[in-house]
Amino acid sequence: MGGSAEEDEALTELKSLSRVLQAVRCEIEQQQKGQQSSEEWIQCCLLKVKPSKQLFILISLLTLAPFNSAVLNCSQPTPASLLNSLKPVFDLNAIRPVVNMSVVTQVRISFVLFGILGVDEKSQVLTTFIWESLEWQNEFTVWDQEECGVEWIAVARNLLWVPDIVINEFMEKNLAPSVPYTYLHSSGLVYDDLPVRVVSSCSLNIYLFPFDIQRCTFTFNSYIHLSDAVQLELVGTDQDIFQASINKMATMGEWQLVGIKSEKVTVPILEGSTYDELRFFVSVRRHSTMYVVNLLIPSCFLITVDLFSFILPIQSIDRSLFKMTLVLGYTVFLLSTNDLLPNTGNTIPLINVFLSLCLTMMVTSLMETIFITNLLRGSAHYTAPPRWMKAFVLRFLGRLVGLPPKPEPQEDLVFKNPDTREMADVPTESKGNETTERKATLKEAETLQVLKNLSRDLQAIHRHVVQQLKGSPSSEDWIQIGLVIDRLLFIFYIFFTSVSFVSIIIIWVASYNAA
C-alpha cells in the first residue's frame, strides 16, 4: 500500500510538471508573436510555475550534470573491453577533454636532465637531452577499476588530446627517439613522458672563461591556449628536479650541472588575456682543469723563463737570440691551442687578454733587448743625451729602480794636462844637466833623456787605452740609460706575472664558491 501511494504521488507530480511545461511553451509562443506584454508574461509564469521538492531536485540535477565526468562502462573486466569503451573518446581528440569548456585544464610539468651534450659559444646555443613529463586530467577517460579490471592502460598518443606545450628557446627540430604511447589512469589522469633533444638559445657570458658559469632558460608554455583554458604547474620542487638530474646524468662533457631553479610567470597580452609560462633556469659550470693545464700553465712557464733571461749579462751574451726563440715558440704554441679558445664576438674572454699580454710582454722584452744591445755596441757614435732625459731617466728612474748615477771620478792631473809633467821636469833636467856635467859623461845624459821620452810615451798610451775602455762621457750616459730601462722592464715583468697569477687564482676560487 505504501509503495502504491508513492507511485501515485510521483505520477501526480509528473502530470503537474507536464502542465507547467505546456503553459510555459504557450506563453513563449505568445510572447514571440507579441500578443502579450512583458508584465503579463511574468505574471503568467509566476502563476503557472508552482514550487515543489521534486521539481527543485530535477532542475538541480540538470544544472550539475554537464560538470560531472562521464564514467565509461565496460562489458567485461578486460583491457579489450576497456579499449572498446574508449573508442568514442578517441574520436574527440581534437577538443580539450572537459565536459564544460569553462573548466581549466591543469597541466603539470617536470623534466629530468639526462645529459649536457655541448655548448656552442659562437652560435650561443646549449644542447641538452631531457626527459619531459606532462600530466593532465581527461574527463572523458574515467572508468571503474573493478568493473573494467585494470587501473592503467597505454594508448597511442595520437588518439588523445595532448597539450601543445613547447619550449620557447627551441632552435632546431627534436631529434630524440619517438615514444608513441601515453598512460591512462582510471581516474582520468594522463601521463605523457617523452625524450627531448633540446637545442636552445642561451645568452653565454664567457668573460671568465675557463672559470665561467652559464645560466640558460627553458620556458615551457602552451602555444595557443590562454590561461582560461590551460594552466601550468610544477611537479615537485626545484631540489627534486636537480637531485634527479644529478642521479640520472649520463654525459656532461666539459660541463657540470650546479643548479636548477624555476618560477611560474603569468604573461599579459592584448585585451586583458594572459597565458602561463613555467621557466626553468639551468646553471652549468665549465670544467677548467684542461684549460689550466694546456693554456695557463705553459704560458706562465714561458713568461717565467723570459723573466729569468734578464739575469743574463747583456754586455757579454747576446740576449736577443734567446728571447727571439721564446717569442717564436710562444707564437707556435698559441696557434696550436687556438681551437681550445671560445669563438664569439659578444665578449672578449679574460684569458685572451692574458695570452695577448704575455705575447706583448715577450715582444716588448725582445725590442728592449735590441735597443740596449744597440746602445752598448754603438753608443760611441751617438751625441750626448738631452738634459731632460738624463734628469728623468738617470736621476729619477735610476734611483727608483736602484741604479743611481755614478759620481764623476777625480781624474789624474797628468791626464788633464800632460804637459805639466814636462814643465815640472825642466828645472830637474837643468839641474841634472849641471850635475851630470859634474859627475857623468855626456853619454849618460842622453840615456836619461831617452828614458824620460819613453815614460811620456807610455803615459800617453795609457791615457788613450783608458779612454778607449771607458768610452766618452756621452757613451757612458747612453749605456746607463739602457741599464735603467732594462731594470725597469724587469721590475714591471715581475709585477705583471705576480698580479696575473694572483688574479687567476682568485677568479678560479670565486667561480667554485659561486657554484
pLDDT in tens, 139-157: 999 999 889 989 999 999 9
Q: Return the closest-CA partner of residue 413 out of 424, 402, 405, 403.
A: 424
C-alpha cell recorded at residue 67: 560538470
**Residues of the chain predicted below pLDDT 70:** 1-70, 345, 379-381, 406-443, 466-474, 511-512, 515
301, 364: one domain: yes
In 52-209, alpha helices (H): 53-64, 79-90, 145-148
C-alpha cell recorded at residue 7: 507511485
Which DSSP symbol is given to 100?
S
How far is the C-alpha of 336 from the C-alpha of 328, rounded, in Å? 13
149, 283: one domain: yes
213, 307: one domain: no
Does residue 60 fall inside a structural domain? no
503 CB-near residues (< 8 Å, 6+ apart): none
Does residue 487 fall inside a structural domain? yes
281, 352: one domain: no
282, 328: one domain: no
Which DSSP symbol is given to 40?
H
Give the total number of structural domains in the chain.
Answer: 2
Write the CATH number for 157.
2.70.170.10
Domain extent, residue 482, equals 291-407+472-514
87, 162: one domain: yes
pLDDT confidence of residue 129: 95
Does residue 47 fall inside a structural domain? no
The helix or strand, by DSSP H or E, that contains position 80, with its residue range, turns out to be helix 79-90
How far is the C-alpha of 372 from the C-alpha of 221, rounded, in Å? 69
282, 297: one domain: no
328, 297: one domain: yes
pLDDT confidence of residue 44: 39
Domain boundary among the residues 287, 303, 318 is at: 287
The CA–CA distances, whole Å, from 158 to 175, 179, 488 equal: 19, 11, 77
Q: Give the phi and the psi of residue 482 in degrees, each rounded to 5.
A: -60, -40
207, 356: one domain: no
226, 345: one domain: no
Strands (E) across 150-297 are located at: 152-156, 165-167, 181-185, 189-201, 213-222, 230-234, 255-268, 274-286
373, 319: one domain: yes
How far is the C-alpha of 373 from the C-alpha of 370, rounded, in Å? 5
Does residue 340 fall inside a structural domain? yes
The helix or strand, by DSSP H or E, that contains position 4, with its residue range, turns out to be helix 2-33
pLDDT confidence of residue 345: 61
C-beta of residue 131 within 8 angstroms of C-beta of residue 193: yes
Domain boundary among the residues 287, 317, 336 is at: 287
Question: pTM for the full model?
Answer: 0.68
Does residue 98 fall inside a structural domain? yes
340, 275: one domain: no
Does residue 435 fall inside a structural domain? no
Does residue 465 fall inside a structural domain? no
Domain boundary among the residues 265, 287, 309 is at: 287
Does residue 93 fall inside a structural domain? yes
